[in-house]
Structure 1
């Protein structure tokens, strides 16, 4: 009997070891696949970064090799000064910053009203807003262009800011509506007992509590405005000095030749700020999305 028990224990121990080894091998294989996918995903950025430091001859001789033939940091200064990237950078900051401010102000108030009030026609308003979410920008650009021209804002930074901000209002409103729906109503009731009005409750209580969603919507809007090409191109077409970075990068593309190393340097200049902003706000970004989905 003792021999049988001992054999059963050995078989059980051996089975556990094999199962543990299988799980370890499975995790290792998963990590390798994810690491390979991550490197494949990062390769275009690494290649752009390396190519921005290459010489014009090295750009073509190295091919897809991301390692530069030498550190030609002058590509960045040339892109910044000779190609007016400094001006494009300032324009992009103005457009992105202005769009973020307008979107946060408008959508936070709209989302709070839709989440916390039951006014007549509320469902109809939500349905109408939902329909506009699926309208392609190409179908609405002509009437928007006529409105901007009628307001005498064509070929101004304000035109780009207003149109760019309007493109993200619907999605951001729904995010705020979902987030405000998760906040306990007892907080509002306590504010009302203290004598706060509807507007005071929003500005002094609810808006400060929506910090994660403010960061989330601000990040979405900033990325969208920073990378936008179509809207800045249309509304600053006759004023090249008002170009943003995505539009300005086309100045490196000529009819007969293209300054590829300068183009890569300009791409890195345009990518680094938005990557830094995302890294700084990623914690609030995740919390804000979790709150909106929960709502």
Structure 2
């Protein structure tokens, strides 16, 4: 008598979830997240959209409501801001000050971060503590020493004086980012370079700094935003030199004692904001990697 082999029942077989249920749950989760984040994003970017829409409105339409779409597009606001308010020359001044301050400050900050991150020396914790405490120091307290220093260097009334003032400062965030990033790199790179006869500057410039591209991009963005948007220092240093004004100070000139050109101010603010957006779009990947790598 031939008996058929029966399949044992005591084995537990893994239950497979149908793919449709997984896709449905994923789609539901993404839908819920989008339903929450989209309104938050719209609320977040609404002031920027309102500023852009105000740049193509008249002053009456700006105070007529919070709508984004004007009845008539007025591109003459940009022409008036660029030519009549001299925003074009202020834009070039700001480009010069920002670019030169980046070229001065970023290598200096990177070297300070390199020393803090790679070397041990007496008072290292004190230096780090002083840098951290400098974050809470208001900028207005340093105006008089900076102004006096620029005058003693005979750089008053020039763009180089404004550039040096913008490039100075503690730059605490960028310094700590460099220090945290350099401290994670292997020590064998430095030892191999020293065996080849490389000195301090060559090890820093040829080996460690190229590895810190994400932090360099982060420092460039931070310095760009600081120099491009700074108002107090350029205002003090250009009180007697209107032709040396930067964009932030030039936009302030739209406001007078009896009248404020709000549409022209919105157009000038839009012009001044576009370079920051373009730079961040190009360097956002490195910005995120630099912050994440330094924190890690």
Equivalent residues, number: 280
Partner of 1:274: 276
Give the C-alpha shift of residue 205 in structure 1.
Answer: 0.8
Flag the 1:248–1:195 CA change in 2: closer, same or farther, 3 A: same
* Most deviating of 153-162 and 265-274: 153-162
Give the C-alpha shift of residue 154 in structure 1.
Answer: 2.5
1:33 is aligned, of 26, 32, 36, to 36
What do residues 253-288 of structure 1 show as CA deviations (whole Å, max 9, x unaligned)? 121111121111111100111100000000000111
| Contact 2:56 2:263 (8 Å CA) reproduced | yes
What do residues 22-73 of structure 1 show as CA deviations (whole Å, max 9, x unaligned)? 8865653432221111111111111111121123444344x21110212222
Does 2:152 match 1:146?
no
Matched ranges for 1:10-21 at <5 A: none
What do residues 101-125 of structure 1 show as CA deviations (whole Å, max 9, x unaligned)? 1111211111111222223333333
Partner of 1:13: none
Flag the 1:42–1:129 CA change in 2: closer, same or farther, 3 A: closer
* Most deviating of 26-35 and 196-205: 26-35
Partner of 2:172: 170
Give the C-alpha shift of residue 185 in structure 1.
Answer: 1.2
| In 2, Cα distance between equivalents of 1:290 and 1:18 | 35
| In 2, Cα distance between equivalents of 1:189 and 1:66 | 60
Q: TM-score w.r.t. structure 1 length?
A: 0.87
| In 2, Cα distance between equivalents of 1:268 and 1:159 | 27
Q: TM-score w.r.t. structure 2 length?
A: 0.86
What do residues 175-216 of structure 1 show as CA deviations (whole Å, max 9, x unaligned)? 111111111111222222322222211111111111111100
Which structure carries more helix by proportion?
1
- The runs of 5 or more residues in structure 2 that have no matched partner are 1-19
| In 2, Cα distance between equivalents of 1:19 and 1:284 | 34
Does 2:264 match 1:262?
yes
- The runs of 5 or more residues in structure 1 that have no matched partner are 1-16
| In 1, Cα distance between equivalents of 2:106 and 2:141 | 25
Flag the 1:199–1:22 CA change in 2: closer, same or farther, 3 A: closer
Matched ranges for 1:181-260 at <5 A: 181-260=183-262
* Most deviating of 132-141 and 285-294: 132-141
CA RMSD of aligned residues (A): 2.4
